[in-house]
């Protein structure tokens, strides 16, 4: 059942061992989905991160937004406290989700979009640990 449900949301499956190929998949399939009126969810850190630890943000979301000429809606959450990575163990607690303002891409290059997105996300994560 899980597989059927996953297929219905049409995820962009990527091969993390082939970074260049993964980025091409995100850009091609992501743009197709956006043009079809669908939303694309990208986790710029690539995987769950230990709360309080920072990882580099990938530029895939900024590249896709610039290519598709569509704004980014940044979102952060602190689910790592109750749903840590690399384990099936879950803990009771409250997850805080913060939704930012749209980041317009008009007249901006990938680096500018990425920097604006990353700055907002990091500042917001520090405010809502």
The pLDDT of residue 5 = 79
pTM across the whole model: 0.84
Predicted local distance difference test score (pLDDT) of residue 49? 79
pLDDT at residue 76, as a whole number = 93
Query: Do the Cβ atoms of 65 and 51 come closer than 8 Å?
Result: no
Break the chain into its structural domains and give their ranges. Answer: 2-127
Stretches in the chain below the pLDDT threshold 50: none
* Long-range contacts formed by 25-30: CB under 8 A, 24+ apart: 26/60, 26/63, 26/64, 27/60, 27/63, 27/64, 27/67, 30/64, 30/68
What confidence tens digit (pLDDT) does each residue in 89-112 have? 889 999 999 999 999 999 999 999
- Per-residue confidence (pLDDT) for residue 84, from 0 to 100: 82
Among candidates 61, 85, 60, 83, which has minimal Cα distance to 72? 61
CB 40 within 8 A of CB 30: yes
């Amino acid at each position: 059942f899980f597989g059927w449900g996953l297929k219905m949301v049409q995820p962009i499956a990527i091969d993390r061992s082939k970074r260049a190929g993964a980025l091409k998949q995100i850009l091609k399939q992501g743009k197709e989905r956006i043009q079809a009126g669908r939303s694309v969810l990208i986790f710029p850190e690539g995987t769950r991160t230990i709360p309080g630890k920072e990882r580099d943000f990938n530029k895939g979301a900024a590249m896709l937004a610039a290519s598709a000429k569509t704004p980014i809606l940044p979102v952060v959450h602190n689910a790592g406290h109750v749903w840590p990575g690399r384990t099936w163990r879950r803990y009771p607690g409250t997850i805080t989700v913060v939704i930012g303002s749209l980041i317009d891409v008009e007249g901006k290059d990938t680096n500018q979009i990425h920097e604006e997105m990353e700055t907002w996300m990091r500042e917001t994560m520090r405010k809502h640990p």
